[in-house]
Chains A and B, each alone.
Chain A
Amino acid sequence: MAIEDSSEVTVRPELNRTRATSLVSDALTAVIPGLRAGELDERQELYADLGMDSLRFVRLLVELESKLGVNLDDEDLMTIDLVNVADLIDLVERISPPPAK
């Protein structure tokens, strides 16, 4: 997992959040057929509202790994416990590599 270093303090946090939200939206629409990006809401639950399941979740992670250009770490992912879209965006924020300077 990328550890944020001090050089990142200059990056406005809302920019990371916007980028993470957009990545999550793209990845979700790629793995859930028929889902339109405009319909997404951070409070929507992944299981109950979006019909996510473990196989789709793994596909989502593979998708995010490719979009982020990172190798997701087994140990980091084993401890996650995601309920809604906001949790997923938080996860992407945590695993995103620092933006290029």
Chain B
Amino acid sequence: MAAMARDALLPTHWFNILHDRPQYVASAVSRSQLSGKMKCTKHALQLQQPFSLARQSLNTTDRFIPIPEEILDLYAQYRPTPLRRAVRLEERLGANARIYYKYEGANLTGSHKLNTALAQAYYYSRAGVKRIVTGTAAGQWGTALAYACQLMNLGCTVFMVRSTLRQKPIRGEMMRLFGAEVHESPSDLTEVGRRVLKEDPAAIGTQAVANAEALELAGEDRQSRFAVGSGENSVLLHQTVIGQEAISQMAALDDFPDCVIASMGAGSNFGGIALPLLGAAEDAGRPIRLVAVESTACPKLTRGRYMYDLSDALGTTPITKVYSLGSGYVPPPVYAGGLRHHSAGPLASAMHADGTVEAMAIDQLTSFRAGMLFCQTESILPAPESAHAVAGMIDVVSRHTRGEAPLVVLVNISGHGLLDLGAYSRFAAGDIEAVTVDEASLSRSLSSLEEFNQSISAEPAGAR
């Protein structure tokens, strides 16, 4: 097959922040430090993920990691993505700022998730895996992975969080169109799903349960493996094409941001735009503000604890140190399903812990208002997750006083909201509320998280 012509702006390497900041390699607890049923009951060691991906997550030696040619050809079909200055929005806001945005929603699957889905499907396929099983919240990751699996002749099974699949069933239809099997989570297909349904037949689902279901199903078939769409260092690495392009595109306009803003689910769209900009700012010896915008329904960075926690409901994946509300926390069913993960990934968490990343929480009513304003001024309807980033950006810009030099901001519009028209219609009809945390549920969940951390014993001296 003839290779797609590649734009000169398309990065040929992923940017690896772990080279500059090796301290961001995930810190995890060993199963031997846990007690009772959390102790590992597995018998044999197997790799759940291709070694190439695991190696990327631990690589502290290479600042740039070459993107395989096969993936570059696929990136060339939709990258570089547009970077534009939001002039009409600046005028509407009366902002003392130059606002730039990077738009990741223009590919078929509608979001930045395709950047890692293509890379992961490539590595899983090369490792001889026949089917990828995953969990998805808002469905953007599931859609991207379904499409990527189809390209690589891989089977794909997706567990999608019930509340979001019911909000936007067309996301499920899109995944099925690409050949994926789609199940509402919690489901009766897995033990963990049945357990959750037994406790509450109307359970709305969480990403932690969807991932646990995917892990359980993948474990039943030797040719299947689990994959994850955010949080892991390798996933953030794949997303760095966004920020690298933005640097070149802004350089062509003779500009560089003072502040980079993106929404925070587990950290992939945030890391994708922020990490290369951080590297470039440090190279240039200039300061840069990185702002992560989360949902008030799931405020892990602003109200969570920096502790060891499970990523999936079963604790099958590594137990890493993250900002978390507790893996048992069930966020209210907001429309930004992609921001409902109970914890930020280890890398984004470490960056917040050392002060590199600021965080703010925005409610969904404010974010829909910002999303509509962005649509009216910039001709792009942002996904509800991306609308949080827009709202955060408006907040930052509005605090910048007029006497100072204009603030240069860069915001990541990680996906389009065309499959969220129902939610936008409800907003337009005045039928959207500003949802915040369920305080009682949060308090219980944080207590459990603290108890879990107190139960972690000191590192044993190897064999016991």
Contact = CB atoms under 8 A, between A and B. Distances in A.
A and B associate in one complex: yes
Interface of A: 29, 32-36, 39-40, 44-59, 61-62, 65, 72-75, 77-83
A56 B26 CA distance: 11
A50 B462 CA distance: 6
B49 to A, nearest CB: 8
Contact of A54 (B47, B128, B464): B47
B64 interface: no
Contacts of B57: 58
A68 to B, nearest CB: 14
Contacts of A61: 51, 54-55
Contact of A44 (B32, B40, B463): B463
Contacts of B52: 74
A49 B352 CA distance: 35
B284 interface: no
Nearest to B46: A81
6 contacts: A33-B459, A49-B463, A58-B47, A58-B51, A58-B54, A75-B128
B463 A35 contact: yes
A8 to B, nearest CB: 25
Contacts of B37: none
Q: Give the 4 A-B residue pairs with the shortest CB-CB distance, closest first.
A: A35-B462, A51-B32, A34-B461, A74-B127
Contacts of B320: 55
Q: Which of B32, B44, B463 counts the most A-chain CB atoms under 10 A from its CB?
A: B463
Nearest to A75: B128
B126 interface: yes
B50 interface: yes
A34 B26 contact: no
Given A34-B462, A75-B126, A47 B43 contact: yes
A1 to B, nearest CB: 12
Contacts of B317: 54
A82 B464 contact: no
B31 interface: yes
